[in-house]
Chains A and B, each alone.
Chain A
Amino acid sequence: MKFSEEEVPNWKCEACGEALVMREIEFAYMKGSFHVELPACPKCNLVLITEELAMGKMAEAEKALEDK
């Protein structure tokens, strides 16, 4: 699933009914941390992570942080 930033407000949080907004989200895994701009619910702060991001760059970062 892929969508553009312009489409983000068209997405609604199922629990709160609020339109999603782009937010800077901080991720921490093992000893590393980094931030990503992601669609999030302004009310409950639930974040939408696309499969592309999870299986792509985030998996890459995870692999890099795991011990060699």
Chain B
Amino acid sequence: MSEQEYTRWMTESLCPTCLTRVPAERVVEGQDVWLVKVCPEHGETRTIMWRGTPDLPGWQRPKIPSRPPVCYTEPNRGCPYDCGLCTNHGQHTCSALLEITQRCNMNCPVCFADSGSVAVPDSTLDAIGKWLASVRHACGDHIVIQLSGGEPTVREDLPDIIRLARSYGFGFVQINTNGLRLAEDPAYAWQLREAGLSSVFLQFDGTRDAIYQKLRGRDMMAEKIRAIDHCLQNHLGVVLVPTLVPGINQQDIGAILRFGMDRAPGIRGVHFQPISYFGRFPEIPDNAQRLTLPEIIRAIEKQTDGLMKIEDFAPPGCEHSHCSFHGNFVLLENGAVTAMTSKNSSCCSKPVVASEGAGKSTQFLTRQWAAPEDVTSAAPLPPSKKTCCEPSQSPSLDEFLQRVKTHTFAVSGMAFQDVWNVDLERTRNCCIHVVTPEGKLVPFCLYNLTSAGGQTLHRGHGHANLAS
């Protein structure tokens, strides 16, 4: 292996026990890739990061790092201890996540934010206004604002918070929610829409109550359907967000996609998130309890009977290539599905400037995840004039263009990192950032990361002060 090849497979990670930064290697064994690291004090850790095809070596979308235009911290002890973002960060923000409450109306066995375990007072509107000002100063107002928690809908003043975000000029505001409150009351979805909400990221782990029983401790399917109905009636875009856990719901991937497509274009897509082990989780995971991105891509092809294929998915243009996959599909009137994404089209060897990818991604998400253009107001299609006996299988150009606008269905998956599989090259190029109570920005995975013993790296710290 050449030195260049070898370096490509080297990165840095953290010791799961003491959170000290350690060198790490991505080790290829057959079609699998492992992240292997050694802490001088606590020994070796081997964690699966990629199983099978599409192969990791070919899953690349090289980027030239872009320093964020405004950085709130300077590097001192190095990544990941100086986040804010610091001047060594390599990507602009495309989504800023604000935790507006730590309260939750559920108590799931698995929760990245470990919500509801400690009583913390909600942030004031004044404090949230300062965060929004800080985000706008650092990133501009074109990015996605995600209101999260905890469960954001437990706050009675959520409509005021949405209005506040819009008053700072942010054009796209989204909530991350379990949907319980939305299911209770159709007028609530209307209130949020009126306040300026664009989109709902809905926790949606499967299409059967047995899945919710295992993952959330209760039946939820009826509530999920009611929540979706209320959102769609009120012109809110809905994205289904399943947390995928091996042995619990990975066999439901196809059913989730079909459920979403049956309710498109109101449901805008599905965003799969394989489970990461930070915050609250039952026990330290072994590798059998991990699901990697290529496994999800293969399951999509298999469980949709080839309606969506492996080659219809591509690495991301915004975040690090190893962090996600995406594929966009046009759902045609005759039930056919046209893939719009091709791995080959986006996988050229020429690196692109990272911030350009962030800009394109933000433009796409703010359009795709919001409610579609009103289908009934679209111009009627001219009658088709067939000139041969066999009807064409393809849509007319006019139908295709109209369906692209209204019926594009986005399928994506994002692998969040925990202390066992964290790769600092990935976090350094992250574009999804949590706003800290001080108004700084920290990559999502690093903000939520906890050691094997439950110690946080950034959450609850004014500054990370570990491994000093």
The residues of A with any CB-CB pair to B shorter than 8 Å are 22-24, 26-27, 30-37, 57-58, 60-61, 64-68
Contacts and interface: CB of A to CB of B under 8 A. Distances in A.
Interface stretch (B162-170, B278-286, B337-345, B459-467): B337-345
Contacts of A65: 340
B423 interface: no
B360 A30 contact: no
Given A24-B388, A35-B395, A60-B401, 8 more contacts: A27-B397, A32-B330, A32-B338, A34-B394, A34-B400, A35-B394, A57-B398, A68-B360
A37 B312 contact: no
B312 A31 contact: yes
Contact of A33 (B328, B342, B346, B394): B394
Interface in B334-371: 338-342, 345-346, 360-361, 363-364
Contacts of A68: 317, 328, 341, 360-361, 363-364
Nearest to A68: B364
A33 B386 CA distance: 17
Contact of A67 (B338, B341, B385, B392): B341
Contact of A30 (B345, B394, B399): B345
B149 to A, nearest CB: 29
Given A31-B339, A32-B330, A67 B345 contact: yes
Contacts of B404: 61, 64
B310 to A, nearest CB: 13
Contacts of A32: 330, 338, 340, 400
B387 interface: yes
Contact of A23 (B340, B387, B396): B387
A50 to B, nearest CB: 13
B387 A22 contact: yes
B422 to A, nearest CB: 28
A35 B394 CA distance: 6
21 contacts: A22-B385, A24-B385, A24-B388, A26-B394, A33-B338, A34-B399, A35-B396, A35-B397, A36-B397, A57-B397, A58-B397, A61-B400, A67-B317, A67-B341, A67-B342, A67-B345, A67-B346, A68-B317, A68-B341, A68-B360, A68-B363
